[in-house]
Chain A
Amino acid sequence: MSKAVPKSEFDLGWKDIEPGCVVSQPGNAAQYRCGDWRSIRPVWDHEKCIKCGVCFIYCPDAAIHKNEQGYFEADLYYCKGCGICVQECITGCIKMVEEGE
Protein backbone atom coordinates (compact mmCIF):
# COMPACT_ATOMS: atom_id res chain seq x y z
CA MET A 1 0.00 0.00 0.00
CA SER A 2 1.58 3.28 -1.03
CA LYS A 3 1.29 6.45 1.00
CA ALA A 4 0.62 9.91 -0.41
CA VAL A 5 3.33 11.49 -2.57
CA PRO A 6 5.87 13.11 -0.23
CA LYS A 7 5.55 16.84 0.14
CA SER A 8 8.29 19.42 -0.16
CA GLU A 9 10.14 20.07 3.11
CA PHE A 10 8.47 23.49 3.18
CA ASP A 11 5.01 21.89 3.23
CA LEU A 12 5.75 19.47 6.07
CA GLY A 13 4.50 20.24 9.57
CA TRP A 14 6.19 18.69 12.61
CA LYS A 15 3.56 15.97 12.86
CA ASP A 16 4.23 14.90 9.26
CA ILE A 17 7.78 13.82 10.09
CA GLU A 18 8.20 10.09 10.68
CA PRO A 19 9.84 8.96 13.95
CA GLY A 20 13.59 9.52 13.79
CA CYS A 21 13.19 11.51 10.55
CA VAL A 22 13.11 8.22 8.67
CA VAL A 23 12.29 8.66 4.98
CA SER A 24 10.20 5.61 4.14
CA GLN A 25 9.03 6.67 0.67
CA PRO A 26 11.32 6.77 -2.39
CA GLY A 27 11.51 9.62 -4.89
CA ASN A 28 11.93 12.44 -2.40
CA ALA A 29 14.84 14.09 -4.17
CA ALA A 30 12.37 15.34 -6.79
CA GLN A 31 10.66 17.32 -4.03
CA TYR A 32 13.82 19.05 -2.98
CA ARG A 33 14.04 22.70 -4.06
CA CYS A 34 17.79 23.04 -4.51
CA GLY A 35 17.12 25.98 -6.86
CA ASP A 36 17.08 28.10 -3.68
CA TRP A 37 20.87 27.83 -3.52
CA ARG A 38 21.30 29.64 -6.85
CA SER A 39 22.81 33.11 -7.13
CA ILE A 40 23.40 33.02 -10.92
CA ARG A 41 21.28 31.35 -13.59
CA PRO A 42 21.94 30.09 -17.13
CA VAL A 43 20.47 31.97 -20.10
CA TRP A 44 20.55 30.48 -23.67
CA ASP A 45 21.23 32.57 -26.80
CA HIS A 46 18.96 30.92 -29.38
CA GLU A 47 20.96 32.56 -32.24
CA LYS A 48 23.98 30.43 -31.36
CA CYS A 49 22.26 27.30 -29.94
CA ILE A 50 22.40 24.25 -32.24
CA LYS A 51 20.07 22.17 -30.00
CA CYS A 52 22.78 19.52 -29.49
CA GLY A 53 21.72 18.72 -25.91
CA VAL A 54 25.22 18.66 -24.36
CA CYS A 55 23.94 20.96 -21.58
CA PHE A 56 21.12 18.47 -20.91
CA ILE A 57 23.60 15.58 -20.73
CA TYR A 58 26.04 17.27 -18.36
CA CYS A 59 23.57 18.92 -15.97
CA PRO A 60 24.28 17.16 -12.61
CA ASP A 61 20.76 17.79 -11.31
CA ALA A 62 18.81 16.83 -14.44
CA ALA A 63 17.45 20.36 -14.24
CA ILE A 64 17.72 21.02 -17.99
CA HIS A 65 14.97 19.92 -20.36
CA LYS A 66 13.93 20.48 -23.98
CA ASN A 67 11.05 22.88 -24.65
CA GLU A 68 8.43 22.73 -27.42
CA GLN A 69 10.66 24.61 -29.88
CA GLY A 70 13.48 22.11 -29.28
CA TYR A 71 15.62 24.56 -27.31
CA PHE A 72 16.99 23.65 -23.91
CA GLU A 73 16.19 25.52 -20.70
CA ALA A 74 16.72 25.14 -16.98
CA ASP A 75 14.01 24.29 -14.45
CA LEU A 76 14.77 26.93 -11.85
CA TYR A 77 13.12 24.81 -9.10
CA TYR A 78 16.20 22.55 -9.31
CA CYS A 79 18.95 24.57 -11.07
CA LYS A 80 21.64 25.43 -8.48
CA GLY A 81 23.46 27.74 -10.89
CA CYS A 82 26.60 25.60 -10.95
CA GLY A 83 27.53 26.67 -14.49
CA ILE A 84 28.59 23.26 -15.77
CA CYS A 85 26.28 23.77 -18.80
CA VAL A 86 28.22 26.95 -19.65
CA GLN A 87 31.53 25.09 -19.37
CA GLU A 88 30.40 22.22 -21.60
CA CYS A 89 28.37 24.12 -24.25
CA ILE A 90 30.02 23.58 -27.67
CA THR A 91 28.95 26.88 -29.24
CA GLY A 92 29.24 29.04 -26.13
CA CYS A 93 25.59 29.99 -26.31
CA ILE A 94 24.91 29.84 -22.55
CA LYS A 95 25.78 32.66 -20.16
CA MET A 96 25.31 32.86 -16.41
CA VAL A 97 23.54 36.02 -15.28
CA GLU A 98 23.18 37.36 -11.75
CA GLU A 99 19.82 36.60 -10.18
CA GLY A 100 17.82 39.79 -10.00
CA GLU A 101 19.26 41.22 -13.23
Chain B
Amino acid sequence: MGKRIGIENSIAAADAIKMANVDVVAAYPITPQTHIVEHLAELVANGELDAEFIPVESEHSAMSVCCGSVAAGARTFTCTSAQGLALMNEIVFIAASMRLPMLMILANRSLSGPLSIWNDHTDVMSVRDCGWIQVFADNGQELFDHVFFAYRVAEDRNVSIPVMINIDGFIVTHMIEAVEYWDEEQVKRYLPDFKPVSVLHPDHPVTMGAFGMPGIFSEAKKNQNEALIASKPHIMKAWDEMAQVIGRKYAPVETYKLEGAETAFLTMGSFSETASIAIDRLREQGRPVGQIKLRLWRPFPFDELREAVKGVKNLIVIDRAISYGGPGGPVASEIRGALYGEPRMPAVANFLCGFAGRDVTPDDFLKMYAKTEELVKSGKTIKEEDYILYGIRE
Protein backbone atom coordinates (compact mmCIF):
# COMPACT_ATOMS: atom_id res chain seq x y z
CA MET B 1 0.00 0.00 0.00
CA GLY B 2 1.23 3.46 -0.91
CA LYS B 3 1.66 6.39 1.45
CA ARG B 4 -1.18 8.50 2.74
CA ILE B 5 -0.16 12.12 2.36
CA GLY B 6 -1.66 15.57 2.74
CA ILE B 7 -1.62 17.14 -0.71
CA GLU B 8 -3.61 19.41 -3.01
CA ASN B 9 -6.00 17.21 -4.97
CA SER B 10 -4.90 18.61 -8.34
CA ILE B 11 -1.28 17.73 -7.59
CA ALA B 12 -2.30 14.24 -6.50
CA ALA B 13 -4.28 13.82 -9.73
CA ALA B 14 -1.25 14.86 -11.78
CA ASP B 15 0.89 12.37 -9.84
CA ALA B 16 -1.65 9.64 -10.64
CA ILE B 17 -1.44 10.54 -14.33
CA LYS B 18 2.32 10.27 -14.09
CA MET B 19 1.99 6.88 -12.39
CA ALA B 20 -0.33 5.78 -15.22
CA ASN B 21 2.66 6.56 -17.44
CA VAL B 22 0.88 8.66 -20.05
CA ASP B 23 2.61 9.24 -23.38
CA VAL B 24 0.98 12.51 -24.40
CA VAL B 25 -0.50 15.45 -22.51
CA ALA B 26 -2.19 18.11 -24.63
CA ALA B 27 -4.00 20.85 -22.77
CA TYR B 28 -4.60 24.58 -22.65
CA PRO B 29 -4.63 26.34 -19.28
CA ILE B 30 -7.98 27.35 -17.84
CA THR B 31 -9.03 27.97 -14.25
CA PRO B 32 -9.70 25.85 -12.17
CA GLN B 33 -8.02 23.05 -14.12
CA THR B 34 -4.59 24.76 -14.13
CA HIS B 35 -2.83 23.10 -11.20
CA ILE B 36 -3.25 19.63 -12.70
CA VAL B 37 -1.73 20.59 -16.04
CA GLU B 38 0.95 22.86 -14.54
CA HIS B 39 2.18 20.03 -12.34
CA LEU B 40 2.25 17.65 -15.30
CA ALA B 41 4.30 20.23 -17.23
CA GLU B 42 6.77 20.31 -14.32
CA LEU B 43 6.96 16.53 -14.20
CA VAL B 44 7.74 16.37 -17.92
CA ALA B 45 10.20 19.30 -17.76
CA ASN B 46 12.20 17.84 -14.87
CA GLY B 47 12.34 14.39 -16.45
CA GLU B 48 10.11 12.56 -13.95
CA LEU B 49 7.56 11.78 -16.66
CA ASP B 50 8.68 10.63 -20.10
CA ALA B 51 5.85 12.10 -22.17
CA GLU B 52 5.18 14.60 -24.91
CA PHE B 53 3.73 17.73 -23.34
CA ILE B 54 2.05 19.68 -26.13
CA PRO B 55 1.22 23.27 -25.14
CA VAL B 56 -1.49 23.84 -27.76
CA GLU B 57 -2.95 27.20 -28.76
CA SER B 58 -6.54 26.38 -27.81
CA GLU B 59 -8.76 23.67 -26.38
CA HIS B 60 -9.99 22.87 -29.87
CA SER B 61 -6.41 22.00 -30.72
CA ALA B 62 -5.95 20.15 -27.42
CA MET B 63 -8.75 17.70 -28.18
CA SER B 64 -7.64 17.42 -31.81
CA VAL B 65 -4.09 16.52 -30.70
CA CYS B 66 -5.53 13.98 -28.26
CA CYS B 67 -7.51 12.32 -31.05
CA GLY B 68 -4.39 12.10 -33.19
CA SER B 69 -2.20 10.75 -30.43
CA VAL B 70 -4.69 8.06 -29.37
CA ALA B 71 -5.12 7.10 -33.03
CA ALA B 72 -1.34 6.58 -33.11
CA GLY B 73 -1.60 4.35 -30.03
CA ALA B 74 -0.41 6.71 -27.29
CA ARG B 75 -1.89 6.87 -23.78
CA THR B 76 -3.27 10.39 -23.74
CA PHE B 77 -4.48 12.93 -21.20
CA THR B 78 -6.23 16.26 -21.35
CA CYS B 79 -7.95 18.46 -18.85
CA THR B 80 -10.24 21.45 -19.12
CA SER B 81 -13.14 23.43 -17.64
CA ALA B 82 -16.26 25.30 -18.83
CA GLN B 83 -15.33 27.65 -21.72
CA GLY B 84 -12.44 25.37 -22.64
CA LEU B 85 -14.83 22.45 -22.96
CA ALA B 86 -17.15 24.62 -25.03
CA LEU B 87 -14.31 25.47 -27.39
CA MET B 88 -13.28 21.83 -27.83
CA ASN B 89 -16.92 20.74 -28.10
CA GLU B 90 -17.01 19.48 -31.69
CA ILE B 91 -13.93 17.30 -31.25
CA VAL B 92 -15.23 15.90 -27.94
CA PHE B 93 -18.09 14.31 -29.89
CA ILE B 94 -15.70 13.09 -32.60
CA ALA B 95 -13.38 11.42 -30.06
CA ALA B 96 -16.30 9.32 -28.83
CA SER B 97 -17.67 8.44 -32.26
CA MET B 98 -14.17 7.39 -33.38
CA ARG B 99 -13.89 5.31 -30.19
CA LEU B 100 -10.59 6.90 -29.18
CA PRO B 101 -9.88 5.96 -25.55
CA MET B 102 -8.38 8.82 -23.55
CA LEU B 103 -8.88 10.52 -20.20
CA MET B 104 -10.20 14.01 -19.70
CA ILE B 105 -10.50 15.43 -16.22
CA LEU B 106 -13.19 18.08 -16.33
CA ALA B 107 -12.71 20.50 -13.44
CA ASN B 108 -16.36 21.52 -13.36
CA ARG B 109 -16.93 25.25 -13.71
CA SER B 110 -19.88 27.38 -14.70
CA LEU B 111 -20.33 28.19 -18.35
CA SER B 112 -20.39 31.97 -18.77
CA GLY B 113 -22.20 34.33 -18.64
CA PRO B 114 -22.06 36.26 -16.55
CA LEU B 115 -18.36 35.52 -16.73
CA SER B 116 -17.44 33.24 -13.87
CA ILE B 117 -14.59 30.96 -12.96
CA TRP B 118 -16.36 29.10 -10.15
CA ASN B 119 -17.91 25.72 -9.82
CA ASP B 120 -21.16 24.25 -11.00
CA HIS B 121 -22.16 21.51 -13.45
CA THR B 122 -23.31 23.56 -16.45
CA ASP B 123 -20.19 22.57 -18.40
CA VAL B 124 -20.61 18.80 -18.09
CA MET B 125 -24.35 18.98 -18.69
CA SER B 126 -23.67 20.75 -22.00
CA VAL B 127 -21.90 17.59 -23.22
CA ARG B 128 -24.31 15.09 -21.69
CA ASP B 129 -24.84 13.47 -25.07
CA CYS B 130 -21.25 13.49 -26.31
CA GLY B 131 -20.88 9.71 -26.04
CA TRP B 132 -18.08 9.60 -23.43
CA ILE B 133 -18.19 7.47 -20.31
CA GLN B 134 -18.79 10.07 -17.59
CA VAL B 135 -18.13 9.59 -13.88
CA PHE B 136 -18.19 11.95 -10.91
CA ALA B 137 -15.57 11.93 -8.17
CA ASP B 138 -16.52 13.54 -4.85
CA ASN B 139 -13.06 14.16 -3.38
CA GLY B 140 -9.32 13.93 -3.98
CA GLN B 141 -9.03 10.23 -3.20
CA GLU B 142 -11.81 9.33 -5.61
CA LEU B 143 -10.18 11.50 -8.26
CA PHE B 144 -6.81 9.80 -7.71
CA ASP B 145 -8.32 6.29 -7.86
CA HIS B 146 -10.40 7.07 -10.93
CA VAL B 147 -7.39 8.12 -13.02
CA PHE B 148 -6.34 4.44 -13.10
CA PHE B 149 -9.94 3.33 -13.46
CA ALA B 150 -10.44 5.68 -16.42
CA TYR B 151 -7.49 4.33 -18.40
CA ARG B 152 -8.34 0.77 -17.47
CA VAL B 153 -11.92 1.13 -18.73
CA ALA B 154 -11.28 3.41 -21.72
CA GLU B 155 -8.50 1.24 -23.10
CA ASP B 156 -10.27 -2.07 -22.45
CA ARG B 157 -10.49 -3.56 -25.94
CA ASN B 158 -14.14 -4.42 -25.27
CA VAL B 159 -14.82 -0.74 -24.53
CA SER B 160 -12.49 1.65 -26.41
CA ILE B 161 -14.43 4.75 -25.39
CA PRO B 162 -12.99 7.97 -23.87
CA VAL B 163 -13.64 8.59 -20.17
CA MET B 164 -14.39 11.90 -18.48
CA ILE B 165 -13.86 12.32 -14.74
CA ASN B 166 -15.89 15.19 -13.34
CA ILE B 167 -14.52 16.94 -10.30
CA ASP B 168 -15.85 20.12 -8.72
CA GLY B 169 -13.60 23.04 -9.58
CA PHE B 170 -11.93 24.78 -6.59
CA ILE B 171 -14.15 22.93 -4.09
CA VAL B 172 -12.19 19.75 -4.81
CA THR B 173 -9.38 20.73 -7.21
CA HIS B 174 -7.81 23.29 -4.86
CA MET B 175 -8.48 21.46 -1.59
CA ILE B 176 -5.68 19.90 0.40
CA GLU B 177 -6.77 16.47 1.55
CA ALA B 178 -5.27 13.22 2.78
CA VAL B 179 -4.80 11.08 -0.33
CA GLU B 180 -3.63 7.50 -0.17
CA TYR B 181 -1.25 6.96 -3.09
CA TRP B 182 -1.11 3.66 -4.93
CA ASP B 183 2.29 2.02 -5.08
CA GLU B 184 3.89 1.01 -8.37
CA GLU B 185 3.03 -2.65 -7.88
CA GLN B 186 -0.68 -1.83 -7.50
CA VAL B 187 -0.69 0.31 -10.63
CA LYS B 188 1.07 -2.43 -12.56
CA ARG B 189 -1.38 -5.05 -11.32
CA TYR B 190 -4.44 -2.96 -12.15
CA LEU B 191 -3.57 -1.12 -15.35
CA PRO B 192 -2.26 -3.10 -18.33
CA ASP B 193 -0.38 -1.51 -21.22
CA PHE B 194 -2.44 0.24 -23.89
CA LYS B 195 -3.14 -2.05 -26.86
CA PRO B 196 -5.53 -0.10 -29.09
CA VAL B 197 -8.26 -1.79 -31.13
CA SER B 198 -7.19 0.21 -34.20
CA VAL B 199 -4.01 2.14 -34.68
CA LEU B 200 -2.53 4.30 -37.41
CA HIS B 201 0.56 2.56 -38.71
CA PRO B 202 2.17 2.74 -42.17
CA ASP B 203 2.53 -1.06 -42.33
CA HIS B 204 -1.19 -1.64 -41.72
CA PRO B 205 -3.10 1.30 -43.22
CA VAL B 206 -6.66 1.93 -42.09
CA THR B 207 -9.09 4.78 -42.64
CA MET B 208 -10.26 6.63 -39.52
CA GLY B 209 -12.92 9.32 -39.43
CA ALA B 210 -14.41 8.49 -42.81
CA PHE B 211 -17.46 10.23 -44.22
CA GLY B 212 -20.80 8.64 -43.30
CA MET B 213 -23.56 9.08 -45.86
CA PRO B 214 -27.25 8.81 -44.87
CA GLY B 215 -27.16 5.16 -46.00
CA ILE B 216 -24.84 4.20 -43.12
CA PHE B 217 -25.02 7.02 -40.55
CA SER B 218 -27.96 5.63 -38.55
CA GLU B 219 -26.30 2.21 -38.32
CA ALA B 220 -23.11 3.94 -37.13
CA LYS B 221 -25.05 5.72 -34.36
CA LYS B 222 -26.73 2.49 -33.26
CA ASN B 223 -23.30 0.84 -33.20
CA GLN B 224 -21.89 3.66 -31.03
CA ASN B 225 -24.86 3.67 -28.64
CA GLU B 226 -24.75 -0.09 -28.17
CA ALA B 227 -21.01 0.12 -27.48
CA LEU B 228 -21.56 2.68 -24.70
CA ILE B 229 -24.34 0.59 -23.15
CA ALA B 230 -22.18 -2.55 -23.45
CA SER B 231 -19.31 -0.82 -21.59
CA LYS B 232 -21.26 -1.13 -18.31
CA PRO B 233 -20.16 -4.67 -17.29
CA HIS B 234 -16.55 -3.72 -18.01
CA ILE B 235 -16.96 -0.61 -15.86
CA MET B 236 -18.34 -2.80 -13.05
CA LYS B 237 -15.47 -5.24 -13.45
CA ALA B 238 -12.92 -2.41 -13.29
CA TRP B 239 -14.44 -1.21 -10.00
CA ASP B 240 -14.57 -4.76 -8.61
CA GLU B 241 -10.95 -5.37 -9.44
CA MET B 242 -9.93 -2.01 -8.01
CA ALA B 243 -11.51 -3.09 -4.72
CA GLN B 244 -9.30 -6.19 -4.79
CA VAL B 245 -6.19 -4.08 -5.34
CA ILE B 246 -6.76 -1.14 -2.99
CA GLY B 247 -9.75 -2.14 -0.87
CA ARG B 248 -12.03 0.76 -1.86
CA LYS B 249 -15.24 -0.26 -3.63
CA TYR B 250 -17.01 2.10 -5.99
CA ALA B 251 -20.37 1.60 -7.68
CA PRO B 252 -22.51 3.36 -10.31
CA VAL B 253 -25.03 4.35 -7.61
CA GLU B 254 -23.85 4.53 -4.01
CA THR B 255 -26.02 5.00 -0.97
CA TYR B 256 -25.65 6.42 2.53
CA LYS B 257 -28.00 5.63 5.41
CA LEU B 258 -30.66 4.67 2.90
CA GLU B 259 -32.06 1.77 4.91
CA GLY B 260 -35.59 2.62 6.04
CA ALA B 261 -35.38 6.08 4.46
CA GLU B 262 -38.67 7.60 3.30
CA THR B 263 -36.92 10.63 1.87
CA ALA B 264 -33.63 10.54 0.04
CA PHE B 265 -31.32 13.17 -1.36
CA LEU B 266 -29.86 12.41 -4.76
CA THR B 267 -26.54 14.17 -5.29
CA MET B 268 -23.51 14.21 -7.58
CA GLY B 269 -19.97 15.39 -6.97
CA SER B 270 -18.82 17.20 -3.84
CA PHE B 271 -22.42 17.95 -2.79
CA SER B 272 -22.59 14.31 -1.78
CA GLU B 273 -20.25 14.79 1.18
CA THR B 274 -21.92 18.01 2.33
CA ALA B 275 -25.39 16.47 2.12
CA SER B 276 -24.28 13.46 4.13
CA ILE B 277 -23.53 15.77 7.09
CA ALA B 278 -27.11 17.06 6.91
CA ILE B 279 -28.36 13.48 6.74
CA ASP B 280 -26.39 12.58 9.88
CA ARG B 281 -28.11 15.44 11.71
CA LEU B 282 -31.56 14.47 10.44
CA ARG B 283 -31.00 10.86 11.42
CA GLU B 284 -29.98 12.01 14.92
CA GLN B 285 -33.39 13.69 15.11
CA GLY B 286 -34.99 10.39 14.12
CA ARG B 287 -35.93 11.49 10.58
CA PRO B 288 -35.94 8.67 8.03
CA VAL B 289 -33.60 10.31 5.53
CA GLY B 290 -30.92 8.77 3.38
CA GLN B 291 -28.79 9.53 0.36
CA ILE B 292 -28.28 8.26 -3.17
CA LYS B 293 -25.07 9.31 -4.91
CA LEU B 294 -24.92 9.09 -8.66
CA ARG B 295 -21.34 8.29 -9.62
CA LEU B 296 -21.85 6.97 -13.15
CA TRP B 297 -23.62 9.50 -15.37
CA ARG B 298 -23.01 7.74 -18.71
CA PRO B 299 -23.87 5.00 -19.42
CA PHE B 300 -26.80 5.84 -17.14
CA PRO B 301 -27.25 3.22 -14.38
CA PHE B 302 -31.01 2.57 -14.75
CA ASP B 303 -31.13 -0.73 -12.85
CA GLU B 304 -29.07 0.46 -9.90
CA LEU B 305 -31.11 3.67 -9.60
CA ARG B 306 -34.45 1.82 -9.67
CA GLU B 307 -33.16 -0.60 -7.06
CA ALA B 308 -31.91 2.24 -4.83
CA VAL B 309 -35.22 4.17 -4.80
CA LYS B 310 -37.33 1.15 -3.82
CA GLY B 311 -39.18 2.14 -0.66
CA VAL B 312 -38.25 5.83 -1.03
CA LYS B 313 -41.37 8.05 -1.09
CA ASN B 314 -39.76 11.42 -1.70
CA LEU B 315 -36.63 11.93 -3.72
CA ILE B 316 -34.87 15.29 -3.44
CA VAL B 317 -32.75 15.70 -6.55
CA ILE B 318 -30.09 18.38 -6.37
CA ASP B 319 -29.03 19.95 -9.63
CA ARG B 320 -26.06 22.20 -10.13
CA ALA B 321 -27.19 23.34 -13.58
CA ILE B 322 -30.28 24.86 -15.12
CA SER B 323 -32.21 24.03 -18.26
CA TYR B 324 -33.60 27.45 -19.20
CA GLY B 325 -37.30 27.17 -19.93
CA GLY B 326 -37.06 23.41 -19.53
CA PRO B 327 -38.50 20.88 -17.11
CA GLY B 328 -36.04 21.52 -14.25
CA GLY B 329 -32.42 20.59 -13.72
CA PRO B 330 -30.89 18.13 -16.18
CA VAL B 331 -30.29 15.50 -13.50
CA ALA B 332 -33.86 15.63 -12.21
CA SER B 333 -35.19 15.37 -15.77
CA GLU B 334 -33.20 12.21 -16.29
CA ILE B 335 -34.18 10.77 -12.90
CA ARG B 336 -37.86 11.42 -13.62
CA GLY B 337 -37.40 9.87 -17.06
CA ALA B 338 -35.62 6.82 -15.66
CA LEU B 339 -38.31 6.24 -13.02
CA TYR B 340 -41.38 7.08 -15.11
CA GLY B 341 -43.82 4.20 -15.07
CA GLU B 342 -42.17 2.45 -12.13
CA PRO B 343 -44.85 0.84 -9.92
CA ARG B 344 -44.01 2.95 -6.83
CA MET B 345 -42.30 5.96 -8.33
CA PRO B 346 -41.18 8.39 -5.65
CA ALA B 347 -42.27 12.02 -5.82
CA VAL B 348 -39.31 13.99 -7.14
CA ALA B 349 -38.51 17.40 -5.68
CA ASN B 350 -35.84 19.26 -7.60
CA PHE B 351 -33.66 21.95 -6.09
CA LEU B 352 -31.27 23.91 -8.29
CA CYS B 353 -28.45 25.43 -6.29
CA GLY B 354 -24.74 26.04 -5.94
CA PHE B 355 -24.42 27.94 -9.20
CA ALA B 356 -20.98 29.33 -9.99
CA GLY B 357 -19.44 28.69 -6.59
CA ARG B 358 -22.38 29.71 -4.38
CA ASP B 359 -21.78 27.81 -1.12
CA VAL B 360 -24.31 25.17 -0.21
CA THR B 361 -23.83 24.09 3.39
CA PRO B 362 -25.33 21.26 5.46
CA ASP B 363 -27.82 23.83 6.81
CA ASP B 364 -29.00 24.47 3.26
CA PHE B 365 -29.69 20.78 2.77
CA LEU B 366 -31.69 20.85 6.03
CA LYS B 367 -33.74 23.73 4.63
CA MET B 368 -34.34 21.86 1.37
CA TYR B 369 -35.50 18.88 3.41
CA ALA B 370 -37.86 21.11 5.41
CA LYS B 371 -39.25 22.65 2.22
CA THR B 372 -39.86 19.17 0.80
CA GLU B 373 -41.67 18.09 3.98
CA GLU B 374 -43.78 21.23 3.78
CA LEU B 375 -44.72 20.41 0.19
CA VAL B 376 -45.63 16.86 1.10
CA LYS B 377 -47.72 17.95 4.13
CA SER B 378 -49.51 20.70 2.19
CA GLY B 379 -51.01 17.98 0.05
CA LYS B 380 -49.59 19.64 -3.04
CA THR B 381 -48.00 17.17 -5.31
CA ILE B 382 -44.34 17.87 -5.71
CA LYS B 383 -44.98 17.83 -9.43
CA GLU B 384 -46.64 21.22 -9.05
CA GLU B 385 -43.32 22.62 -7.95
CA ASP B 386 -41.39 21.18 -10.85
CA TYR B 387 -38.22 22.78 -9.68
CA ILE B 388 -37.08 25.32 -7.13
CA LEU B 389 -34.12 27.63 -7.56
CA TYR B 390 -32.87 27.47 -4.00
CA GLY B 391 -31.56 30.45 -2.05
CA ILE B 392 -32.39 33.15 -4.61
CA ARG B 393 -32.96 36.64 -3.19
CA GLU B 394 -36.23 38.28 -4.24
Contact = CB atoms under 8 A, between A and B. Distances in A.
A22 B97 contact: no
A14 B206 contact: no
B270 interface: no
A21 B220 contact: yes
Contact of A21 (B97, B205, B226): B97
B213 interface: yes
Given A12-B219, A14-B219, A21 B197 contact: no
A10 B207 CA distance: 19
**Residue in B97, B99, B219 whose Cβ sees the most chain A Cβ within 10 Å:** B219
Contacts, number: 57
A22 B206 contact: yes
B76 interface: no
Contacts of A18: 198
Interface string A83-97: 000000000000000
A15 B222 CA distance: 9
Given A9-B213, A18-B198, A23 B219 contact: no
A21 B222 contact: no
Contacts of A67: none
Nearest to B100: A20
Interface class of chain B by DSSP: loop
A16 B219 CA distance: 9
Report the contact-size class of chain B (Cβ under 8 Å from the partner): 20 to 34
Contact of A9 (B160, B205, B215): B215
Contacts of B220: 14, 17, 21
A32 to B, nearest CB: 8
B385 to A, nearest CB: 42
B223 interface: yes
Contacts of A100: none
Given A12-B216, A18-B198, A19-B160, 17 more contacts: A9-B213, A9-B215, A9-B216, A14-B223, A14-B226, A16-B219, A17-B220, A19-B99, A19-B197, A20-B99, A21-B97, A21-B208, A21-B210, A21-B212, A22-B198, A23-B210, A28-B207
Nearest to B158: A19
A29 to B, nearest CB: 10
Contacts of B207: 22-24, 28
A14 B222 contact: yes
Interface in B164-211: 197-198, 205-210
B198 A24 contact: yes
A19 B210 contact: no
Interface of A: 9-10, 12-24, 26, 28
Nearest to B209: A21
**Residue in A13, A14, A20 whose Cβ sees the most chain B Cβ within 10 Å:** A20
Given A9-B213, A14-B226, A26-B205, A20 B219 contact: no
Contacts of A17: 216, 219-220, 223
Given A14-B222, A19-B99, A24 B206 contact: yes
Interface in B46-105: 97-100
B227 interface: yes
Contacts of A22: 98-99, 197-198, 206-208
A28 B210 CA distance: 11
Interface in B205-242: 205-210, 212-213, 215-216, 219-220, 222-223, 226-227
A13 B100 contact: no
A16 B215 CA distance: 14
Given A9-B213, A9-B216, A19 B205 contact: no
A15 B215 contact: no
Interface string B341-373: 000000000000000000000000000000000
A26 B207 CA distance: 9
